[in-house]
Amino acid sequence: MHEKLTCYIIEDEHLAQEILEEYIRKVPFLELKGTFASPLEAAGPLQQDKPDLLFLDINMPDLDGLSFIPMLNPKPLIILTTAYDQYALKAYDLEVKDYLLKPFTFERFYKGVLRLYQEQGPAPRYTPEKPEERAEAKNEPEYIFLKVGHRIQKVATRDILFVEGMKDYLRIHTPAEKIMTLLSFAKLEELLPAQDFARVHRSFLVALDKIDHIEKNRIQIADQLIPISDTYAEAFYKMLKGLQ
């Protein structure tokens, strides 16, 4: 994991700049490297410094933030800061890491940057974890945002029973509903806490704490029997053994 995430701010409002600078100074794993009033002003320094994280406003003169993102190469992690909520779907398509709706609190800011910081560390999916270490893991994501049709839906990770592959879509099963999203298993696994979920089949990913029992390479969750394929069996059982 990086010791610190280096940051740029691109924001044309002076007060918003000051608030972001103050928030960044409070976070020990963030290091502010530059503040700019427009994407055009920041373009050269971005290429030279290659910061890890960019706090980017949307509505700015000359060039708006959403139009600037596809021009970035390499592209840093991006958190959008805006007073308008209608850009959330477009931001999702551009793989923006977070969307801070002004005015946002320090608590909301910190929650977003902490998640990003933790994601930068190596996270092997099947490294056994001691029970006491698992009990102390308090900073795992409590919810994820998924594109569902023409909206972005918030899904609590604790509600997920299992995930089923449906060709180009995933069907996420919860006690209350089944959610269809156009997403790959690989991308979903990046969003979910690795120690709580396991891939057991090319078409299934399960929540470990929702397993009722396992018999003859089949997992019972609620009223569903889920197969464990040979491809995933060894890693899955090794993971279970590490949790005992």
84-103: pLDDT as tens digits? 877 777 777 788 888 888 88
Query: Percentage of the chain surpassing pLDDT 70?
Result: 90
CATH of the domain at 168: 2.40.50.1020
| 139 and 202 belong to one structural domain | yes
Query: Percentage of the chain surpassing pLDDT 90?
Result: 48
| 83 and 149 belong to one structural domain | no
| 58 and 150 belong to one structural domain | no
Where does the pLDDT of residue 128 fall: very low under 50, low under 70, confident under 90, or very high at 90 and above?
very low
pLDDT for 244 equals 55
CATH of the domain at 21: 3.40.50.2300
> For residues 9 and 137, which has the higher predicted lDDT (pLDDT)?
9
Residue 82 clears pLDDT 60, i.e. is over it: yes
| 145 and 212 belong to one structural domain | yes
Where does the pLDDT of residue 1 fall: very low under 50, low under 70, confident under 90, or very high at 90 and above?
very low
Mean pLDDT score, 193-212? 92
Whether residue 105 lies inside any domain: the answer is yes
Where does the pLDDT of residue 134 fall: very low under 50, low under 70, confident under 90, or very high at 90 and above?
very low
Of 119, 144, 159, which residue is a domain's last?
119
CB distance 210 to 222 below 8 Å: yes
Residue 203 clears pLDDT 60, i.e. is over it: yes
Q: Which domain holds residue 63?
A: 5-119
Mean pLDDT score, 190-201? 89
Where does the pLDDT of residue 206 fall: very low under 50, low under 70, confident under 90, or very high at 90 and above?
very high
| 53 and 150 belong to one structural domain | no
- Rounded Cα distance between 175 and 209, Å, is 14
| 114 and 138 belong to one structural domain | no
| 109 and 167 belong to one structural domain | no
Residue 123 clears pLDDT 80, i.e. is over it: no
Whether residue 125 lies inside any domain: the answer is no
Whether residue 127 lies inside any domain: the answer is no
| 180 and 150 belong to one structural domain | yes
pLDDT for 168 equals 81
pLDDT for 73 equals 86
Whether residue 126 lies inside any domain: the answer is no
Residue 29 backbone zone (phi > 0: left; psi -120 to 50: alpha; other: beta)? alpha
| 212 and 169 belong to one structural domain | yes
pLDDT for 23 equals 95
> For residues 121 and 186, which has the higher predicted lDDT (pLDDT)?
186
pLDDT for 136 equals 42
pLDDT for 228 equals 94
- Rounded Cα distance between 31 and 4, Å, is 6
> For residues 127 and 17, which has the higher predicted lDDT (pLDDT)?
17
The number of folded domains in the chain is 2
Q: How many CB atoms lie within 10 A of CB 58?
A: 20
Of 90, 119, 148, which residue is a domain's last?
119
CB distance 159 to 175 below 8 Å: yes
pLDDT for 141 equals 62
Mean pLDDT score, 129-136? 42
**What angle is formed at CA 197 by the lines to CA 148 and CA 132, rounded to 5 degrees?**
135
pLDDT for 183 equals 86
